[in-house]
Amino acid sequence: MGQHIRGIAMASSASISFGFIPLFTLPLMAMGILTPSILAYRFLLAAFFLMLILWSKKIDFKITRYEAFLLISLGLIYICSAMGLQLGYLYMPTGIATVIHFTYPIYVILLLFVFYGQRPTLLVMIAIILAFVGVIFITGIGSGAEPIPFGGFLIVAITGLAYASYMVIVNKSVLQHMNNIKLSFYALLFCGIGFLIIAYFWGGIQLIPDAKGWGWMLLLAILSTVVANIMLVEAVKLCGSTLSSVLGALEPLTAVVIGILVFDEPLTPMHLLGIGLIICSVLIISLSGKIAYAWEVWRKRKRL
């Protein structure tokens, strides 16, 4: 029970840390730094800090070929997730982009069903429907307001699938037994190398112009990458990929609040309704076991 509570605390803290990504990223984009350069700096700096931690703790860097294959796969998946989310900021408010990305708990359920035969319950199916209806409201379709471009929506939606794949691989592979810091180091290192290559062909690596820019970059690399990833990996191991993804509800809430308070981003009643439906769907998934148990208890009492 103690491990479960610790896992919940880790997942919640990781989600809040991830929710600060727009706060640190948008000022860098405003300086004219392109997405590949920002992400190359972010993940290579994060890998460097993790390497220092591994050295200080005398943790062995050795990995098997199969582990290397899985870690490279995680790096590629993270590239899709991180780049898609940051590109999404160009098409829509950061809070809305984060909420659409937050549909990843639904993808976790679907991936576990397709690849591991974990059949979703009726409650989970209802939650999936609520989530997709919520996404429709968020995009503004049929609201009379200018809708979010479908291309931008699709880019961010794919990030949810990528992030869900990351969590399932960590939870269902030999990586589950790897040291959290070591796992995060290799995944972020391979991700950073990938973005370095992308940046090279995207006009070259741009220099960070001033100390303020380095400050934003260090916060992005340390708080929203190093700290967030270590806590997420620990949470997935302690309480599973489904519950960890569900507790990610704090991520879009953090991003939405930051978007409104710091960046003066609009939030319409339709957006609020969509966000509410998505959060309800996630809560249904997280509480589905308790709801089903309570229902059975009520039915038995009714028969007596």
DSSP assignment of 70-86, as one string? Answer: HHHHHHHHHHHHHHHHH
Q: Which pLDDT tens digit goes with each residue over 100-143? A: 777 777 788 888 888 888 777 777 777 777 777 776 676 655 55
Backbone angles phi and psi of 125, in degrees to 5:
-60, -40
Let me know how long the chain is: 304
Residue 53 above 80 pLDDT? yes
Once rounded to an integer, what is the mean pLDDT over residues 26-50?
93
Higher pLDDT, 9 or 294: 9
> Is the C-alpha dihedral spanning 158, 162, 168, 173 positive or negative?
positive
Cα–Cα distance for residue pair 24/5, rounded to 1 Å: 29
Of 224, 187, 260, the residue nearest 38 (C-alpha): 224
Angle 122-139/269-303 helices, nearest 10 degrees?
Answer: 170
Q: Which pLDDT tens digit goes with each residue over 156-177? A: 888 888 988 988 888 888 888 8
Of 159, 219, 279, the residue nearest 23 (C-alpha): 219
Instruction: Return the amino acid letter for 146.
Output: E
